[in-house]
Amino acid sequence: MKTLLAVTVISASFLMAGCASKPSAATSHEARKDLESRYSDRVNKSTKADFTEDFGPPEWCRADEVGTGETCRYYRKQGTKWMGGKKDRNHLEQYDEIFTEFDSQGVLRNIKVNAQR
């Protein structure tokens, strides 16, 4: 009886966890729109640490030409999509990419997103 109850509880938790997760975007356009909606409201509010928390450390950061801030590229690989038949298979990298511009105080001043699915 206890075993049946434990199996039922575990099964229910897996079902709830699966339903709670947001499905990933199916197309590049949907993924870009999702990224834009998630990050565009962070302009003038977020810092580099906020993006590092979501994406990990930036791929690179460069100081602006006038020295008043920096531009960073954040990249997160989502996977690889294989297309074509056995003889002519091609792969397509699936990723999220964000270019951020921070001011001299480290606050987000501009954002540009890109995604490929």
Provide the residue ranges of all domains of the chain, joining segments of one domain with +. 26-116
* DSSP structure string for 15-49: HHHHHHSPPPPSSHHHHHHHHHHHHGGGTTT-BHH
Domain 26-116 has CATH 3.40.1350: no
**What is the pLDDT, as a whole number, of residue 85?**
87
Please identify which residue in the block is written with the tokens 């397509």: 92
Q: What is the pTM of this model?
A: 0.71
Query: Which of 64, 59, 58, 50 has the alpha carbon at shortest distance from 101?
Result: 64
Each residue of 7-33: pLDDT tens digit? 444 554 544 444 444 556 789 999 999
Q: What is the mean pLDDT of the chain?
A: 84
